[in-house]
Chains A and B, each alone.
Chain A
Amino acid sequence: MAVDRRKLRRSLVCWLALAPLVVIVLFPFAVMFLTAVKPAEEVFVYPARWLPSHYRWANFSDMWVATKFGVALRNSLIVSFGSMALAIAVSIPAAYALARFPFRGKGGYRQFLLVTQMLSPILLVIGLFRLAAMIHWQGGNMVDKHISVIVAYAAFNIAFAVWMMSSYFATIPRDLEESAWLEGCGRVRAVFKVFLPLAVPAMAVTAIFTFINGWNEFAVVYTLIRSDANKTLTVQITDLVAGRYTVEWHQVMAATLLATLPVSVLFAWLQRYLVKGLALGAVK
């Protein structure tokens, strides 16, 4: 019992110390939620108040129509899934090679990945736009096409995906594959039969994080996508705010909340894997 009391006191101290940060972290979520459910006429009253007089859930359905949320949501899903699939498809073999083979050029390849991390999309945005404008695609060029965004995201996610997966792959004991060879199983078959099933969790977690990266990215879509019909959520919602004289803040907040919440929940659920994966990668 005495021990418990000590832990209780420690908990109190810890929470008190974290309190300022917790307040600041939760502040924008509170602003988002409370503005999203406010009746429009209460958003712009002075002095403003935190709480709405009543919760107006219809803001969400109004927003859905007014901001063409559905279209942007579909685009975000296409772009995020596409880039996730492409990034994972090219990163799995690379991560396997890093985790299992000693080979010449391994250090160079690692360094190359590090450099790609330094060159952010925004730094290259002028060149990326030219690249998309240069390639002929379906009778036009690749500007304003989802595929160009997908390919760009995938490329910029390779370093992260390879890093995460190779550090996890390295923790899967090599003996399992080797004993499969002894039993006459081919090297390739051993990978599919023994290694990949064990690697599924690592691949799934990495895939979800590349998905979230795609979902949250801004600069590339902002540059490469021109028409409203193809814009993703981040850009569509920014367009509701930037350069407008009047902003329907209750709708904007409803939209940001809806675009953010599913990903936040997913992230909250999976963040401990990220802690583990990055730590494993860092120690090496």
Chain B
Amino acid sequence: MPRNSGRTLTPWLLIVPSLALALFVIGYPLYNIVFQSVHEVSRFGLIRDFCGLDNFRKLFADPVFIASLWRTVWWTLGVVGGTVLVAVPVALILNQDFYGRGVARVIVMLPWSVSLTMTAIVWRWAFNDEYGMVNVTLQRLGVIAAPVHWLATSTLAFPVEILVGVLVSVPFTVTIFLGGLSSVPVDIYEAARIDGATGWQQFRKLTLPLLRPFINMAIVLNVIYVFNSFPIIWVMTQGGPSNGTHILVTYLYERGFRLGKPGEAAAVSLVMLLLLFAATAVYLKIQPREKGEA
């Protein structure tokens, strides 16, 4: 009897430290955000009166918030979609046996190793109007006649930021796909070749279905990361020019720490949380239920 209860207690004792730390650092802020979002909060963080859903009402009356909300959707779709489209062929190539594959893998993985902040700083400089190397190179190649004001025009800056987002998300996604491809047995391809299947048919009928669970996982994880991604837009344009590149996280940060409205910022956090949970629920719903998960 004591032996038996010891057996069920041991694993719990082993996970308690991690559980406690995570609950402390994540649980309290979560509670605090809910609390602040329904109170009037001064710019110095003094909690004033309970104000119900006033903070939320203010948000939804703010056109910048609504625009940021939509832009977050485009940002997430654009970066995640672009990443998957680039990562599938790249993973297929890196799974081939060719000279210099090791080097190629390292190069493809490189953007992952660099802090998003540093990447954003370098690209901000590269896209500089007069002195940036993007304009210099494009002019040299004759693609553009005069310098393009990339980051000073929000309709250009936002797509540029999406491209940077794709670039930094590709390595992680390729990593997941390579893991998936390594679990694909080689002999089924040989069987397919003997049956006369073309390369495209092999891809459609064999590779893609086998990769499907990994693509799903990459989409879910990337949606979470990209939705929450802060440094690229904050460092490159700070949500500007004229609020034209704000997504929810940058809007949240500006409200909370620049404009001194912590209550409204907390409300943005909650809206984002709800969106994330809604997306997860939708995903679980449409995800075809296979075997029970461990």
Q: Which residues of A contact B (CB under 8 A)?
A: 7-8, 10-11, 14-15, 17-18, 21-22, 24-32, 34-35, 43-50, 86, 89-91, 93-94, 96-98, 101, 103-107, 109, 112-113, 116-120, 122-131, 133, 151-152, 154-156, 158-159, 162, 212, 215-219, 223, 234-235, 237-238, 241-242, 249, 252-253, 256, 259-260, 263-264, 266-268, 271-272, 274-276, 278-280, 282-284
In the complex, residue of chain A having the shortest beta-carbon distance to the beta carbon of B89: A17
Which of A34, A45, A109, A234 sits near B117, CB closer than 8 Å? A234
Chain A residues lying within 8 Å of B249, measured Cβ to Cβ, are 122-123
Which of B12, B106, B108, B113 sits near A18, CB closer than 8 Å? B108
A126 touches B235 (CB 8 A): no
Interface bin, chain B:
35 or more
Interface string of B72-108 (1 = CB under 8 A from A): 0000000000000010011001001111110011111
A103 touches B122 (CB 8 A): no
A264 touches B262 (CB 8 A): no
A118 touches B14 (CB 8 A): no
Q: Which residues of B contact A (CB under 8 A)?
A: 7-8, 10-15, 17-19, 21-22, 24-26, 28-33, 36, 45, 86, 89-90, 93, 96-101, 104-119, 121-126, 128, 130-133, 136-137, 139, 167, 170, 175-176, 178-180, 182-183, 214, 217, 221, 224-225, 228, 230-231, 235, 238, 249, 252-253, 256-257, 262, 265-266, 269, 272-273, 276, 280, 293-294
A123-B273 CB under 8 A given contacts A24-B167, A31-B125: yes
Minimum CB–CB distance for B108 against chain A, Å? 7
A43-B118 CB under 8 A given contacts A21-B90, A26-B107, A97-B15: no
A49 touches B269 (CB 8 A): no
Chain A residues lying within 8 Å of B118, measured Cβ to Cβ, are 216, 234, 237, 256, 259-260
Minimum CB–CB distance for A112 against chain B, Å? 7
B112 touches A267 (CB 8 A): yes
Pairs across A and B, CB under 8 Å, 15 listed: A7-B99, A27-B126, A28-B122, A93-B14, A104-B8, A119-B30, A123-B269, A127-B32, A130-B29, A131-B32, A158-B21, A238-B121, A242-B235, A256-B121, A268-B113
A contact patch SS? helix
B contact patch SS? helix
In the complex, residue of chain A having the shortest beta-carbon distance to the beta carbon of B238: A242
B262 touches A97 (CB 8 A): no
A156, A159, A218 interface centre (most CB from chain B within 10 Å): A218
How far, in angstroms, from A123 to B274 measured CA to CA in the complex?
11
How far, in angstroms, from A13 to B19 measured CA to CA in the complex?
50
Minimum CB–CB distance for B48 against chain A, Å? 15
A155 touches B26 (CB 8 A): yes
In the complex, residue of chain B having the shortest beta-carbon distance to the beta carbon of A45: B131
How far, in angstroms, from A131 to B21 measured CA to CA in the complex?
13
Chain A residues lying within 8 Å of B97, measured Cβ to Cβ, are 7, 10
Known: A126-B266, A241-B235, A260-B115. 10 other contacts (CB 8 A): A28-B119, A35-B125, A90-B21, A107-B293, A124-B29, A130-B29, A151-B25, A152-B25, A218-B115, A242-B238
